[in-house]
Chains A and B, each alone.
With several copies, the nearest count.
Chain A
Amino acid sequence: MSFFGGNGMQSQQAINPQNIAMAEQELEMVTDLFNRIVDSCYTKCISKEYAQNDLTQGESVCIDRCVAKFFDVNTKVGEKMQQMGQQNMPK
């Protein structure tokens, strides 16, 4: 949809498709990370008994720590993989 209806300001600037692709990948990664955290922390923290509509105090605290830990693990694994600089995919 962004191909149609540009305004005057836009028409004076060139769009570099590589910048758009990079932004798309960044967006994709952030969304994927968010979705995985939602999944994992729901499984770790939320009681399946569904006794009330609100998060309990324990669940809330667990979520906060769970998100922080997931970020931590994400960073640590990223550092580790950068060290190794290896690739493990089928060609």
Chain B
Amino acid sequence: MDFSRYNQAEQAQINAMIEHKQMKDFLRLYSNLVQRCFDDCANDFTTKSITGKEEACINKCADKFLKHSERVGARFAELSQQMAPQ
């Protein structure tokens, strides 16, 4: 995204908006991760604490989800840059 066409006062306000949005996006990523890993890993409701097997699954799921998001972010940034001049 290129906001250089706006004046400095506007850019300052836009930057504050972006910062606020990044916080919200981070929280959204976090709660998406929790729900997805819960849905994929928690399947035994004979106990109310998570089992060792479930915990191992959740750990791997959380790692994969974060690495996945990071990789999508990298590709997304590259492709956005390529499209910018068009």
Number of B residues with CB within 8 Å of any CB on chain A: 67
For B61, B65, B67, B71, the residue with the greatest tally of chain A CB atoms inside 10 Å of its CB is: B71
B36-A42 in contact (CB<8A): yes
Given contacts A64-B75, A89-B73, A90-B77, are A42 and B65 in contact (CB under 8 A)? yes
- Could you tell me which B residues sit within 8 Å of A by CB distance? 1, 3, 6-10, 12-14, 16-18, 20-31, 33-43, 45-50, 54-55, 57-73, 75-77, 79-80, 83
A74 to B58, CA, bound (A): 10
Complex contact B26–A60 (CB within 8 A) = no
Complex alpha-carbon distance, A55 and B24, angstroms: 26
Interface size class of A (residues with CB under 8 A): 35 or more
Given A26-B1, A69-B48, also A2-B72 (CB < 8 A): no
The answer to whether B72 and A6 touch across the interface, beta carbons within 8 angstroms, is no
Interface contacts beyond A42-B68, A73-B42: sample of 13 additional A-B pairs, CB < 8 Å, sorted by A: A11-B9, A13-B9, A13-B10, A15-B10, A20-B10, A27-B14, A42-B36, A53-B59, A59-B68, A63-B68, A65-B48, A66-B45, A69-B54
Q: Does B22 contact A89, Cβ atoms closer than 8 Å?
A: yes
Chain A binding surface SS class: helix
17 A-B contact pairs sorted by A residue (CB < 8 Å): A2-B17, A14-B7, A28-B27, A29-B31, A33-B31, A37-B72, A42-B36, A45-B45, A45-B68, A50-B60, A53-B59, A65-B47, A67-B79, A72-B50, A73-B42, A77-B33, A90-B76
Tell me the smallest distance from the CB of A69 to a CB of chain B, in Å. Answer: 5
Residues of A with Cβ closer than 8 Å to B?
1-2, 6, 9-16, 19-20, 23-46, 48, 50-55, 59-78, 80-81, 84, 86-91
